A and B are shown apart, each in its own frame.
Chain A
Amino acid sequence: MFSPLSLILVYPLVVILPAVLVSILGTATEGVVYEMGRNAALAGVMIILLQGFLAARFKWVERPFGLDILVRFHKYMAAAAAVLLLLHPLLIAAGSGSLDLLISLDQPWYIWLGKITLFLVLANVGVSLYQRKLNLKFEKWRLVHDILGPAIIVFAFVHSITVGKDLQQPLMLGLWSIFFVVAVVVFVWHRLVRPRLLQRNPWQVIDVQQEAPDVWTVKLEPPRGEQVFEYLPGQFQFITFFRGRDLPVEEHHWTISSSPAEKNFVTSTIKALGDFTSTIDKTRAGDRAAVQAPFGRFSYVLHPEERDLVFLAGGIGITPLMSMLRHMRDVQSTHRVVLLYGNPNIEQAVFHSEIKEIEAGDHPDLKAVDVLSDPDDDWSGESGFIDGEKIVRHCGRDLSGKTFYVCGPPPLVAAVVSALDELDISHRQIRIEIFSFLD
């Protein structure tokens, strides 16, 4: 297994490798500005060729960081690649002392291919960064991404080897071709081959249980003769349901809400929040599902030295914390946990009765507090939202030895982290699940 630091260090070195090699092996120069333009293209394309590794859910890349962090890095680097590729023609034109490259229509086909590639890169980055503002649904965005991504890789490769004199040297051409082939193989594996292999070995829905209004728990059984994969409480899984009955077939990721101590099934507890999840209640026992898991690093198991935990959850954000509480119960953990769970009213508090049962038991040492923003008149518990005052009231003034796990809708997470900041809680004491890849 690779350490996070080694991967962080290797990544930029791989990105600059072609630029370093052509700089050493090159036999002529057009001047510093022109060379910067050439290097910008080499690094920009390398970033694009490496994008697949960040997003393809390879365990050896994902485990040290968590998939949410990797997907964000994938986004940031896409923007960096777009800037580098935008600088490429500008610097080349400036370095050659002629604006013809930028403004003349009389250009060879491979220059036009480069311009088209740049346009596709900017379009791909634009629709990905502004998916929400463009009101583009996830599946449509993914289709666009799946078409533009490979097109950019192929076009960039053809443009680079036809126009780039340095890349026509045998050594550079060989190396460049290897990078290109690997990028194509990663894409084909991630988007075409692996989904079909998972579909061929499907899991089966064995139960669908309503937990609260608009919230259902789907219980899945592994393929015959197989056990549930090893996972940590708090991790998530990708599920594609094959339900027939004209119901949509889309891949989505949901937290695993069951305890890893259960070896015969996993559950995900899903709230009807969008077009797809609003059909989750139509899922039936016997439906098939492709499952890819586990992912994520939001788990108390990764930090065994931390014994005093504070769980701050809102709405469906309880699911990873519920998996942790169930696991603590099942392994007879002696952790001390305070749970502040925010909901509009008690009917919408998912797992309410099971949390009370765990609180009544000895493992973990749990204190569960419901915080209701719109309670019934007879509610005598905490009202309003989770804030610094409530955290101090239930966790005590000395918060120095505690670790805070925060999960919920983005506004709740932002408000809670802000409250923790005001309480002088170090960022190292706060663990956040960034569950949506879009935020």
Chain B
Amino acid sequence: MRKVELKYVTIVTVCFIAAALIIMAGIRAWMTAEAPSAAGARLFQQKGCTQCHFTESDKTKVGPGLKGLFGREKLPESRRPVTSENVRRQLVDPYEDMPVFKDDLTEAERESLIEYMKTL
């Protein structure tokens, strides 16, 4: 094999690898994709939110119940208007004693949680 042929082989090999990585990323995203609200429901369980919040009631457990949260005018504790942005703010920089979910959650995960809370 000559140097020139080696360059062609290398280019084809690298292009094949790059294409395969992109295609596999697409396949995985497609195979495991779930609605943001469903992902949020899963995260709500995984991250232990249920330990402090009811989802089927607006009564306080440790923190306030979240049923119908986005149907209310104010957030239960901070009394800020109920908007996606204020719920996100409550997750990363909580009012009062709620644990901080800044590093534990990616932005996409926070978005999923908010979408889930909208369904309650």
Contact = CB atoms under 8 A, between A and B. Distances in A.
A23 B106 contact: no
Contact of B106 (A22, A38, A97, A431): A97
B48 interface: no
Interface in A109-144: none
A16 B10 contact: no
Interface in A388-429: 427
A16 B3 contact: no
Given A11-B13, A23-B27, A29 B21 contact: no
B interface, size bucket: 20 to 34
B70 to A, nearest CB: 22
Interface in B1-47: 1-4, 6-7, 9-10, 13-14, 16-17, 20-22, 24-29, 31-34, 39
Given A23-B24, A23-B28, A98-B107, A432 B13 contact: no
Given A23-B24, A27-B32, A97 B107 contact: yes
A35 B10 contact: no
Contacts of B24: 16, 19-20, 23, 35, 39
Contacts of B14: 76-77, 80
B29 A43 contact: no
Given A8-B9, A35-B25, A30 B106 contact: yes
Residue of A27, A29, A96 most packed against chain B (CB within 10 A): A29
Interface in A6-29: 8, 11-12, 15-16, 19-20, 22-24, 26-29
Given A16-B17, A19-B20, A98-B107, A72 B6 contact: yes
13 contacts: A4-B1, A19-B20, A23-B27, A31-B29, A32-B25, A34-B108, A76-B10, A84-B21, A96-B106, A98-B106, A100-B103, A427-B2, A431-B2
Interface of B: 1-4, 6-7, 9-10, 13-14, 16-17, 20-22, 24-29, 31-34, 39, 103, 106-108
